Amino acid sequence: MSQAKWDELFSDSAREMKPSPIRELLRYISNPEIISFAGGNPDPFIFPVSEFAAGAIVLGRNGMEILQYGATEGYTPLRKFLSKWMAPRMGRETEPNELLITSGSQQGMDLLCAALLNPGDAVIVEDPTYPGAIHTMRNRGAQFLTVPCDADGMRTDLLPEVIETAQNDGKKIKFIYSIVNFQNPSGATLTTARRKELLDIASKYGLLIFEDDPYGHLRYEGGHEPTIFSMDQEGRVVYACSFSKILAPGVRVAWIVGPPNIIRKMVMIKQGADMCTSVISQALVASYCDDGYMDEFLPRIISHYAKKRDAMAAAFARHLPSDAQFSVPKGGFFFWVKLPGIDAKELFMKGIEHGVAFVNGPAFFANGGGTDCFRTCFTFAQPSDLDEGARRLAEAIADQRGE
Ligand SMILES: Cc1ncc(COP(=O)(O)O)c(C=O)c1O
């Protein structure tokens, strides 16, 4: 049946929408023969399945409450836990009106964009950045201003010129988006000095900072950098974190902290989006947290992923050609590889032929670029596959180069 007749009903923004590049890869990587370094998926073998299942006892205990609709702001025991558990990172316990539980950080990002962006407003993002952020912000009408990253994260020295040029062009900049720790995809962490500089620049130009931090707890070496939120004296930082990478993405529970008036607007938008994040899911997460498993399991997850990171580093050193440039991330999920002269989109198809998948560079660049780069995730593939995947990747590179 033809569906063309409904096309004219689509809104302007729906007409402009493109599918998420990473979600689109799923059709290739669902083939079990392919070793996937593509999606940013945690290792299912490290999910605390029995501890999480034990928490389901709350259903019997509090079923009448948690089978009911919940407050849009989130499930109170979970909000209380997060305010205390995050206090060392946030610099203080956050107030209830500063914190909103969301259905994944992806929703937090979408609600923030809905609260702040009019079509055509500008946002400043890192080059490269998380494709899911590009997708959400674009869907909400954002135009992108990009700032390159190096090994220390966003090049804050370039920021003032980007801001001034855009402001002189009459653009309205709404926020600066930074993935501060073990950035997706570059793996870089913003240094403390640059965090301060970012805050100073945001203050000078009157901008908001959106600090996205789903990987911050997963540090495999060195000490933690302070959050920008904890350094901020002016209430110009919105901070997001998630249970996806430190517990399980299937729970779809995350949180976002920020100035009460912004959080309040996001609550109103969420009322119209899904009323509340699944109360059952939040209650199971809260039960897991209150039983002390966050602190018990996190070190296990960290040492498990540190080994996998080392295995991917060793496999890349063993197999990839000598002109492949990558650095070993100190935390998070990803390696970012640059291969001068290669076309990463073509390499992706060669990779599929050779049985390995990754995400090619252009997906991470809001305004184009990254054609000779790609991202590999080391957390999902099983240890024996990390070496074999790197070997296949090297084969695909040689094949594409006609060697
Ligand atoms: C930088 C970044 N922000 C946000 C998200 C979304 O996470 P969630 O599963 O909490 O929606 C991801 C997921 O990979 C991410 O890498």
- Residues 372/137/186/213 CA torsion (nearest 10 deg): -170
Task: Return d(Cα 153, Cα 28) in angstroms, integer.
Answer: 31
For residue 36, give the nearest of 306, 344, 375, 337 by alpha carbon: 375
For residues 121-151, one letter each, b for 16 or more C-beta atoms within 10 angstroms of the residue's C-beta and e for the rest, the string is bbbbbbbbbbbbbbbbbbbbbbbbbbbebee
In the chain, how many H helices and how many E strands? 16, 13
Looking at residue 13, what is its pLDDT? 83
Of all helices (H) and strands (E), which one includes residue 375?
Answer: strand 373-377
Cβ of 198 closer than 6 Å to ligand 1, yes or no, is no
CA–centroid distance for 16 within its chain: 23
Q: Is the dihedral of CA 221, 222, 223, 225 positive or negative?
A: negative
Task: Return d(Cα 357, Cα 336) in angstroms, integer.
Answer: 14
Task: Return d(Cα 11, Cα 273) in angstroms, integer.
Answer: 17
**Best mutation site among 106, 186, 377 for ligand 1 pocket (most ligand atoms within 8 Å of CB):** 106
Q: Is 77 helix (H, G, I), strand (E, B) or coil?
A: helix
Q: Is 144 helix (H, G, I), strand (E, B) or coil?
A: strand
pTM over 0.85: yes
Token output for 67: 């089978």
Reading the chain (403 residues) residue by residue, the pLDDT tens digits are: 556 688 889 988 888 888 877 777 777 778 889 999 998 999 999 999 999 999 899 999 999 999 999 999 999 999 999 999 999 999 999 999 999 999 999 999 999 999 999 999 999 999 999 999 999 999 999 999 999 999 999 999 999 999 999 999 999 999 999 999 999 999 999 999 999 999 999 999 999 999 999 999 999 999 999 999 999 999 999 999 999 999 999 999 999 999 999 999 999 999 999 999 999 999 999 999 999 999 999 999 999 999 999 999 999 999 999 999 999 999 999 999 999 999 999 999 999 999 999 999 999 999 999 999 999 999 999 998 999 999 999 999 999 998 8
**Best mutation site among 100, 105, 126, 186 for ligand 1 pocket (most ligand atoms within 8 Å of CB):** 105
Q: Is 78 helix (H, G, I), strand (E, B) or coil?
A: helix
Task: Return d(Cα 102, Cα 271) in angstroms, integer.
Answer: 11
Token output for 104: 């994944």
Report how far ligand 1's centroid is from the alpha carbon of 257 (Å).
15
**DSSP summary character for residue 9:** G
Q: What is the DSSP string of 212-263?
A: E-SSTT-B-SSPPPPPHHHH-SSS-EEEEEESTTTT-GGG--EEEE--HHHH
Q: Is the dihedral of CA 222, 226, 228, 229 positive or negative?
A: positive
Strand partners, 265: none
Report how far ligand 1's centroid is from the alpha carbon of 133 (Å).
8
Asked if residue 206 lies in contact with residue 175, where contact means CB atoms within 8 angstroms, the answer is: no
Report how far ligand 1's centroid is from the alpha carbon of 239 (Å).
13
Give the chain's length. Answer: 403
Looking at residue 1, what is its pLDDT? 56
Residue nearest to atom 13 of ligand 1 (CA): 40
Q: Is 305 helix (H, G, I), strand (E, B) or coil?
A: helix
Domains of the chain: 10-48+295-400 (3.90.1150.10), 62-291 (3.40.640.10)
Task: Return d(Cα 313, Cα 317) in angstroms, integer.
Answer: 6
Looking at residue 4, what is its pLDDT? 67
Ligand 1 atom closest to residue 243's alpha carbon, by position in its atom list:
10
For residue 246, give the nearest of 221, 220, 217 by alpha carbon: 217
Token output for 207: 């901008």
Q: What one-letter code names the amino acid at 153? A: G
